[in-house]
Amino acid sequence: MRIPLNKKSREPLYRQIHQFLRDEIRCKALPADFRLPSSRTLSAGLGVSRITVMNAYAELESEGLVHIQPGSGTYVAPPAAYHSLPAEDGLDVHDWPIWQQELLSRTWLPARREMERLLASTVHPDPISFAGDLVAENLFPADEFRKTINAVLRRDGQQAFGYGNRAGFAPLRETIAHILAGQGIPTSPDHVLITSGSQQALSLVAQVLVQAGGSVLVESPTYIGAIDLFRSLNVRLMGVPVDEEGMRIEAVEEALKRNKPRLIYTIPAFHNPTGVCMAADRRRRLINLASRYNVPILEDDCFGDLRYDGRALPALKALDPNGCVIYVNTFSKMLMPGLRVGYLVASGPLYDRLLSCKYTCDLATSNLIQRALEAYISVGRYQAHLRRACGAYRKRRDAMVAALDAHMPEGVRWRVPKGGLCLWLRLPDGVSAIDLLPEASEEGVVYAPGSFYFPAERPESFMRLNFAPHTPERTEEGIRRLARALERYLSRRKAEEEPQRLHMGVTV
């Protein structure tokens, strides 16, 4: 069994082994009843001590992912054992009809739900959540949109309630093509496909281009909804590290040489979760590599217009002479997620396949909402809203940065994002965002633990903080609580370490 280990990492080796096997079991790459190699064999193969492997197996056992049969071996547990169902009407798993029980062995727990479960335990009366990747509901132009819908109903009457064109309302596709042309992405309305949010666009592309067992190259970390999507299709994820200039291109090339993925998925502008933007030269190099290795790029530009500082770089799609980029965007972040309107831009045979796939998925995206959206954009309200929202989010980001500067203890690091909705923070060495969570939630603040955003090895010292939905005052209070929790956690850890050091005869 090959487990990629980074012996220079601060992450203990047993944890790396544990995390790798945990992911493999959860995505069913290791099926129920599969016998794991003995600790002796695995330790010899990996060049680590036996105790390291035994510790990793013990962790898996404590999570119910494996069962150890003394004298026989360590076996992957059936999923029912680790998918603890919420008790419903006092029913136990075995009280469900067999077909329901069978379902348990075929399903898996998406990382997003795993994280939601972890966050659900907060009991504070007034919790502040930095855990989402949300926009601010109080900025939604609900009144204006109501008026626009009424105007559309007066104008279009019953037509607005038909299925409409399955590629999307033609004037909306024209408007989108026009907006994109203004951003240096020349396209025709015939290459625009309206989808139910950009999540559906990602899903259509994945379904058409990647078969089960195939692989997709992604940033590591990356968007949790993409990790779950690809895993749900039994697709292997090849993670490429991200630094302050985005995806590391030499690592992309290495990965492309090693193993041909079917797709490269990237979020070049205000990457979720780190907030970084891919540098201009990396964008060009990525496109060259994709053309050279004949691999399409799926560009998710979901935050592209939420820029607070600096100048916009051209989208990958704007630099793409050979048509290897499939471009995806959404009105969820720039306007309102409840509209469920996103779109993709593709050409050639792929467009037709995506259109068929869209048709089999949900026939069409809401005709009424598309008409209203088109009317809303055409009278200039969309651009005005975007300016207003960006102004508010810039202030909210600045408030978070100021609060972090003021309250965070030494050793905590973060990068100020130039756009987007979230800030990525690194805890002092050796502090796990998962371990800190109970303390934080007791203080009344929660965040998204960074480990959920990694496709394979899951470092635990990161967290993502969503500043956009909170007023500056609320953010200040939330960060103050978080800093208090961290200080408490650090002093408790120090107190726990002290007797151990004395016991080991270490003088301090």
* Contact positions vs ligand PMP (CB under 6 A): 133, 197-199, 223, 225, 267, 272, 300, 302, 330, 332, 337, 342
CB of 413 to ligand PMP, least distance (A): 23
Residues contacting residue 273 through CB under 8 Å, at least 6 positions apart? 133, 221, 222, 223, 224, 422, 424, 448, 450, 453, 462, 464
- Which of 14, 393 has the CB closer to ligand PMP? 393
Q: Torsion angle, CA of 259/260/265/267, rounded to 10 degrees?
A: 60
CB of 235 to ligand PMP, least distance (A): 17
- Which of 22, 333 has the CB closer to ligand PMP? 333
**Number of neighbouring beta carbons within 10 Å of residue 350:** 17
DSSP E strands, 182-256: 192-195, 215-220, 236-243, 246-247
Residue type, 257: K
CB of 340 to ligand PMP, least distance (A): 7
Distance CA 390, CA 400 (A): 15
CB of 267 to ligand PMP, least distance (A): 5
CB of 332 to ligand PMP, least distance (A): 3
- Which of 52, 274 has the CB closer to ligand PMP? 274
Helices vs strands, H then E, count in the chain: 17, 16
**Number of neighbouring beta carbons within 10 Å of residue 502:** 11
CB of 342 to ligand PMP, least distance (A): 4
Supply φ then ψ for residue 448, to 5 degrees: -95, 115
Find out whether 286 and 303 touch, Cβ atoms under 8 Å.
no
- Which of 48, 205 has the CB closer to ligand PMP? 205
Q: Nearest residue to ligand PMP, using CB?
A: 197
CB of 82 to ligand PMP, least distance (A): 27
DSSP E strands, 443-484: 445-449, 462-466
Tokens 């990161």 correspond to 462
- Which of 187, 330 has the CB closer to ligand PMP? 330
CB of 134 to ligand PMP, least distance (A): 8
DSSP E strands, 27-97: 35-36, 66-69, 73-76
